[in-house]
Structure 1
Amino acid sequence: MSLDTVVEDIRDEARARAEQIRSDADERAEGIVADAEADAEDILEERRQAVQRQIEQEREQTLSSAKLEAKQMRLEARRDVLEDVRETAEQRTASMEEGREELTRALLEDAATEFADDATVRVYGRADDEALITDILADYDDYEFAGERDCLGGVVVESDRSRVRVNNTFDSVLDDVWEDNLREVSSELFDER
């Protein structure tokens, strides 16, 4: 074997070895690229899912906020309507003429049960009702009209001797009736039956 043949064999072997290394490197590079592409696809899918979850969460939050705002607006509108109904009831009560004397008498009679017969009792009422109250008080001994109260009607009755004050105004009766019947009024107004 000649030196040229040995050199040629070494070159062939080196070329084969280089080709094998290049082939192995290409395979490894293809594997790395494939892994990187798969990782990139996984990351992309995770990001898509995260974005989709965020979009869904924001949509739910926005929808929930809108529902809450709509509910608050409905409640405010109901409150406004109920306030209007209450104001109308107060205006009608204040301007009521038919039955005013009977109701005032009944409220005074109810209050009178709280006071001893020998007590001097002061009765207060609405300025417009002074003549009416004075006429009613003619039926009671030791009862006197003592002045005005800012109210829709009715009486406030008190005595120093018993230190009792009875508020039997139309306002207090309306307050009690309103509280006792608010649910029914609301159901009737907003058709919640």
Structure 2
Amino acid sequence: MSLEHVVDDIKDEARARAEEIRAEAEDDAEAIIAEAEADAEEIKEERAAEVEAQIDQEREQAVSSANLEAKQQRLEARRDVLADVREDVEAALAELSGDRRESLTQSLIDEAATEFDDDATVSVYGRSDDQELIEEILTEYDGFSFAGDRDCLGGVVVESETSRVRVNNTFDSVLDTVWDENLKELSAHLFEQ
């Protein structure tokens, strides 16, 4: 064998070995690329799931916030309606006249009178527009006299210094009591759903 032959054999072996190494390197590179692509796909899917979860959470928060705001607006609208109804009732009470006003005022004075002794000196206060009416009704009561004006819708405030009793029988106080006792029922009636 000649030296040339030996050199050619070594070259052939070296080429074959180089080819093997290159084939192994390509296989390794393909495996690394496949693993990287799989990792990238997994990371992409995880990120997509995280983004979807965040979108769902933000959507729920937005819906919850919108529902709360809508509920607050409904409550505010209901308060406004109730305030309007209250104003209308107060206006109707202030405008009462004639026999109806006289009858209610008489009843309120009668009720208040039961709180005082027969010999008590009793001061009665009322709306300035009702002074004449109150004075006329008080002619039926011994020791009762009109003592001055009260800023109210009608009715009377009756008091006696001797017994330290004060009875607030104004239309305002009666309305407050009736309003508080019936507010739930009134709301249910006005805002039936």
TM-score range, shorter chain: over 0.9
Please state if 1:113 is matched with 2:110. no
2:55 alignment partner AA? I
Q: How does 1:114-193 map to 2 (within 5 A)?
A: 114-192=115-193
CA distance in 2, matches of 1:4, 1:160: 142
Secondary structure at the aligned position of 1:162 is classed as coil
Q: How does the TM-score come out when normalised to structure 1?
A: 0.92
Among the aligned pairs, what percent are the same residue? Answer: 66
- Distance, in Å, in 1 between the alignment partners of 2:35 and 2:132 is 101
Distance 1:45 1:102 in 2: 81
Cα distance, 1:91 vs. partner?
0.5
Secondary structure at the aligned position of 2:115 is classed as coil
User: Which residue of the partner structure matches residue 72 of structure 2?
Assistant: 72
After TM superposition, the structure 1 = structure 2 runs for residues 60-99 of structure 1, keeping only pairs within 5 Å, are 60-97=60-97, 98-99=99-100
Q: Secondary structure at the match of 2:147?
A: strand
Offset at 1:121?
Answer: 1.1
Residue type of the alignment partner of 1:21: I
- How far off is 1:7 after superposition? 2.9
- 1-structure distance, mates of 2:57, 2:91: 50
Partner Cα separation in structure 2 for residue 174 and residue 132 of structure 1: 21
| 1:177, distance to aligned residue in structure 2 (A) | 1.0
| Alpha-carbon separation, structure 2, partners of 1:35 and 1:114 | 96
Give the Cα separation in 2 of the matches to 1:123 and 1:155. 6
> Structure 2 CA distance, aligned partners of 1:26 and 1:157?
108
TM-score (norm 2): 0.92
| Structure 1 range deviating more: 151-160 or 111-120 | 111-120
What SS does the corresponding residue of 1:145 show, helix, strand or coil?
A: strand
Superposition deviation, residue 10 in structure 1: 2.5
Structure 1 unaligned runs (5+)?
A: none
- Work out the CA distance in 2 between the residues paired with 1:35 and 1:116: 102
Question: Secondary structure in 1 aligned to 2:152?
Answer: coil
Aligned residues: 192
C-alpha separation in 1, matches of 2:42 and 2:134 = 89
**Structure 1 residue aligned with 2:25:** 25
User: Which string of whole-angstrom CA distances, capped at 9 and with x for unpartnered residues, describes residues 9-32 of structure 1?
Assistant: 322222222111111111110011
Question: Bigger CA drift: 61-70 or 142-151?
Answer: 61-70
Secondary structure class of the residue paired with 1:114: coil
Aligned-pair Cα RMSD in Å: 1.5
Aligned equivalent of 1:37: 37
Q: 1:75: how far off?
A: 1.6
SS in 2 for 1:99: helix
Structure 2 unmatched ranges of 5 or more = none
